[in-house]
Amino acid sequence: MGAFTNTFARFGGKSNASSSKSNPINEAAAKMQAAEEEQSKKKEETGAQQQVSNKEPENKSPRSSYTTFKSSRSDSSLSSGAGIASLILLLGGILKFIFFNEISTISYVLSLIFFVIAGYALSEKLETKKTAILIPMFAFVVWYFMFNGRIDPQFLIYFFGTLGIISVLFSLLSRGESVKPELLGLIPALFLFLDQGLIAFMVEKLDLTITPMMETLILSMPWWALLGLITLPAEFSKSSFLNTLAGLLKVLGIMYLIVVLIFPIIPELGYEKLKIAGLEDISAAQERIKEKTSGGENPFLSNLYCLLVKGEFNNLPGCTTNRQQEKIVESICKNERKLDTGTIEFENCMKTEKIKLNTPALQIQGTIDQLIKEPFSAKIVPKKESWPTVYAAESGLQLPFPIELQIKNPRGQEVKLVASCSFEDADKNIIIGKILPESTLDNPIKFSSETFPGQFLCYLPPKIASPITEESTDVPAGSAIIPEKTEQYTLNFEVQLLGLSTSSRLQRAFVDKELTADAVNRLYQDEISKVIKVKEVQVPADPAGLYFDIGQGTGQPTIQDLTYLPLVVRAYAKNQGQGELTRINQYNLHLYEANFEPAEGLSTCFSGQMDLSKREKSLREVPLSTCLVASYPDELKNPVGISPWVSKEFQATMNYDYTLKSRDTIRLTVIENNAATENTAASS
């Protein structure tokens, strides 16, 4: 049609020009040609727009470019940097947890390496510029390792002010997209502390009770492996099952991490030139928590042993428990008792410790004896208001730090005590302090009065503070201000209380063996319950207590001489105070005096002593004895008289040593004597 129109127009155009303008045919042809050209132009523009929509615009904004890049990037394999780094974290974290989970240089170096890898994996996971992630990581390294984690306000203003300026510049350049990655850049630092034992440090600092769940939370989590799992690509495998399993584990891992992060923040940050807890402190806390919980095998290794070696697929929990108990007992006999494996002594130790570990003595129920209104108590009270705060570097003086020991001894027992103190500087060096009044194990302080409001002076040795240099103070050279700096120490005060005594009591009803069970129950309701008031052992609220039980069932107040119901004795010592039960000098259930006889070969069941192992010192309950009674007096087996039953009260005693400890922070402003003298002379 267009060709015909053009031809027609040309044919009409052979006439003179003047006639073409007024020719109706020419005008119609021209209009038709113009319409066709406009329609063709629109088609070309539409096709060009479709081609442009299928291509990436060259002048897109940073946010749209980032979004397009994120949507087009493949996350379905481990070929990306994120997948490789996450896999290294996952596998390396598991291997470190299995083979290098103790305090060591290798463990520390591996944690720092994983710290760097975690930053890379996180930046790849977020698909953002690595610089935004690395800024807070680098700032953390500078603050913690170069400035020793200072948290005094003046330093924090300068440090975080500078960091804030850098962050603002990056935020402007990235149009605000670097803010979120910068905040997430603190995650590797958090995992560094978690891996080194942050939770254990907080548990110890807050004096929390260690339950089995808490033990698993503290000791059985490979933190770097968890971070590697979280940063793993969503579809790292061609197997949909593995991808789904990894996603489920991610959700569980994040929930676990949330539970961890709701722990309370450790108080007492201070106001002067302070330092947060070092990785050494945190790692040491984790080791102390390990001592309190087991000394056994890692649960992960125990599971592998039961599955691969024993083949216990149907009884995995029971096998794991038995395996860990064996390792705990083996650790006690080998590392604490210092016995050689394969010897008779070692085998006997294994048997004894297994009995202690599985003894039902810990099931004994007991209550505080309310008849003893004022039990023995001891408390350390640092007199911080009198502690010196300024130290002249060249004075050569010993600084005294007063500490009060408040003891209540209402029963007037003879007590021996030995006090000592030490100072720990910022580099973890221990400096033995001088304490007055002096006391030693050979020459302890003795008293038997009802109170002991004694004060001790712990002296910091002279010239402990390092000399002041221009690098160690912010005072400019030549300034009229006296140069000074702040130093921090930890004052450790320890009191050993030797030869403390405690007692406990229990009542039982011995019933004629001819009575039936129903008759015994009626007798208990009508008579025995009105006489036997101490069905559970009563213990005073002393620092330590002796808990014991005598009967044919835990807490059962009636006893009959029946062959199928053996009479069992159980006992354990319980740490009821805030210190450490260090030794049991003597425990005595006084059953020999009552003509009770234990089963053959168990002569130490009714009385004995115990040197507590390192693990036992950290326990709240220390098993003492469990045995069967072979015989007891006939008048208890066959009560004579009108009543078919007879009551008897048992009393047990224990002599023990107990240790109280305190740790307090000291902040000293160290001044230069010569500088003070020169300034005084200049001013005059």
Listed in sequence order, the residues at least 6 apart from 261 whose beta carbon sits closer than 8 Å to its beta carbon are none
> Which of 75-84, 147-156, 182-191 ranks highest by mean pLDDT?
182-191
Please report the beta strands in 318-413, taking only residues with DSSP state E, as ranges in sequence order.
366-368, 377-382, 390-392, 399-408
* Lowest mean pLDDT, pick from 291-295, 395-399, 414-418, 440-444: 291-295
- From residue 407, give the alpha-carbon distance in Å to each of 1, 412, 445, 488, 655: 118, 11, 13, 30, 18
Average pLDDT over residues 76-100: 71
Average pLDDT over residues 618-644: 86
- From residue 629, give the alpha-carbon distance in Å to each of 120, 317, 552, 604, 622: 67, 34, 10, 12, 21
Secondary structure of 185-198 in the HEC alphabet? CCHHHHHHHHHHCH
Q: What gap in Å lies between CA 183 and CA 129, rounded to an integer?
A: 13
> Which of 33-37, 210-214, 482-486, 570-574 ranks highest by mean pLDDT?
570-574
Q: What gap in Å lies between CA 284 and CA 200, rounded to an integer?
A: 9
Q: What gap in Å lies between CA 200 and CA 287, rounded to an integer?
A: 8
Q: Report H helices in 387-543.
A: 517-523, 529-531
What is the per-residue pLDDT across 634-669, written as a single tens digit (0 to 9) for each? 889 888 777 889 999 999 999 999 999 999 988 888
Q: What gap in Å lies between CA 155 and CA 146, rounded to an integer?
A: 13
Confidence at residue 660, expressed as pLDDT on a 0 to 100 scale: 94
Average pLDDT over residues 487-498: 92
> Which of 202-206, 273-277, 301-305, 478-482 ranks highest by mean pLDDT?
301-305
Token pair, residue 311, equals 């083949």
Token pair, residue 643, equals 């009543």
Instruction: Give the number of other CB atoms < 10 A from CB of residue 298.
Output: 16
* Lowest mean pLDDT, pick from 253-267, 383-397, 555-569: 253-267
Average pLDDT over residues 19-24: 46
pTM of the model: 0.50
Query: Which residue bears the tokens 């996603």?
Result: 247
Q: What gap in Å lies between CA 302 and CA 312, rounded to an integer?
A: 11
Residue 175 has pLDDT above 60, yes or no: no
Under 8 Å between Cβ of 477 and 670: no
The values of phi and psi at residue 534, to 5°, are: -110, 75
Residue 60 region by backbone torsions, left for phi larger than 0, else alpha for psi between -120 and 50, else beta: beta
More confident residue, 521 or 278: 521
Count, in order, helices (H) and strands (E) of the chain.
Answer: 23, 19
Q: What gap in Å lies between CA 626 and CA 598, rounded to an integer?
A: 10
Q: What gap in Å lies between CA 127 and CA 181, rounded to an integer?
A: 10
How does residue 236 score in pLDDT terms, banded at 50, 70 and 90? low
Q: What gap in Å lies between CA 80 and CA 73, rounded to an integer?
A: 10
Helix axes 187-196, 279-293, angle to 10 degrees: 40
Please, is 74 exposed, middle or buried when counting C-beta atoms within 10 Å of its C-beta (0-12, 13-18, 19+)?
A: exposed
Average pLDDT over residues 56-78: 44
DSSP secondary structure letters along 198-220: HHHHHHHHTT----HHHHHHHHS
Residue 123 region by backbone torsions, left for phi larger than 0, else alpha for psi between -120 and 50, else beta: alpha
How does residue 162 score in pLDDT terms, banded at 50, 70 and 90? confident
Instruction: Give the number of other CB atoms < 10 A from CB of residue 602.
Output: 16
- At 557, which helix (H) or strand (E)? none
pLDDT above 90 as % of the chain: 17
Q: Mean pLDDT score of the chain, rounded to an integer? A: 72
Question: Which sequence spans correspond to the domains of the chain?
Answer: 2-53, 70-279, 294-358, 377-497+664-683, 501-655
Residue 499 has pLDDT above 60, yes or no: yes
How does residue 127 score in pLDDT terms, banded at 50, 70 and 90? low
Residue 361 has pLDDT above 50, yes or no: no
The values of phi and psi at residue 347, to 5°, are: -65, -40
Bridging pattern class, strands 445-447 and 607-611: unpaired
Residue 546 has pLDDT above 90, yes or no: yes
Query: Which residue bears the tokens 């600084």?
Result: 399
Query: Which residue bears the tokens 């267009």?
Result: 2
**Amino acid sitting at position 536:** E
Q: Shortest CA distance to 664 belongs to which of 474, 519, 492? A: 492
What is the per-residue pLDDT across 379-401, written as a single tens digit (0 to 9) for each? 999 998 899 888 776 666 788 99
Q: Report H helices in 78-129.
A: 81-99, 105-126
Residue 155 has pLDDT above 60, yes or no: yes
What is the per-residue pLDDT across 419-446, written as a single tens digit (0 to 9) for each? 999 999 888 889 899 999 999 999 999 9
More confident residue, 481 or 521: 521
Under 8 Å between Cβ of 646 and 635: yes
Under 8 Å between Cβ of 277 and 206: no
**Amino acid sitting at position 663:** R
> Which of 11-20, 84-93, 149-158, 668-677 ranks highest by mean pLDDT?
84-93
Residue 608 region by backbone torsions, left for phi larger than 0, else alpha for psi between -120 and 50, else beta: left
How does residue 68 score in pLDDT terms, banded at 50, 70 and 90? very low
Q: What gap in Å lies between CA 481 and CA 155, rounded to an integer?
A: 19
The number of residues making up the chain comes to: 684
- From residue 253, give the alpha-carbon distance in Å to each of 208, 406, 517: 23, 48, 55
Query: Bridge-partner residues for 406, per DSSP?
Result: 379, 453
Listed in sequence order, the residues at least 6 apart from 554 whose beta carbon sits closer than 8 Å to its beta carbon are 360, 363, 364, 365
Average pLDDT over residues 239-251: 75
Confidence at residue 442, expressed as pLDDT on a 0 to 100 scale: 92
Residue 678 has pLDDT above 60, yes or no: no
Residue 547 has pLDDT above 70, yes or no: yes
Token pair, residue 252, equals 């569980």
What is the per-residue pLDDT across 516-530, written as a single tens digit (0 to 9) for each? 989 998 998 888 888
Residue 613 has pLDDT above 70, yes or no: yes
Q: What gap in Å lies between CA 256 and CA 266, rounded to an integer?
A: 20
- From residue 336, give the alpha-carbon distance in Å to each of 115, 314, 346, 581: 35, 34, 12, 17
> Which of 149-158, 277-286, 489-498 ranks highest by mean pLDDT?
489-498
More confident residue, 16 or 219: 219
How does residue 290 score in pLDDT terms, banded at 50, 70 and 90? low
Residue 75 has pLDDT above 70, yes or no: no
Q: What gap in Å lies between CA 244 and CA 467, rounded to an integer?
A: 62
Fold of the domain spanning 377-497+664-683: Immunoglobulin-like (2.60.40)
Q: What gap in Å lies between CA 394 and CA 23, rounded to an integer?
A: 119
Under 8 Å between Cβ of 580 and 661: yes
Residue 415 has pLDDT above 50, yes or no: yes
Token pair, residue 543, equals 């620092």
Instruction: Give the number of other CB atoms < 10 A from CB of residue 677.
Output: 11
- At 610, which helix (H) or strand (E)? strand 607-611
Q: What gap in Å lies between CA 514 and CA 301, rounded to an integer?
A: 55
Half-sphere exposure of 564 (CA within 13 A, CB side): 0
Confidence at residue 576, expressed as pLDDT on a 0 to 100 scale: 87
Instruction: Report helix, strand or coil for 466.
Output: coil
Residue 81 has pLDDT above 60, yes or no: no
Token pair, residue 261, equals 């992060």
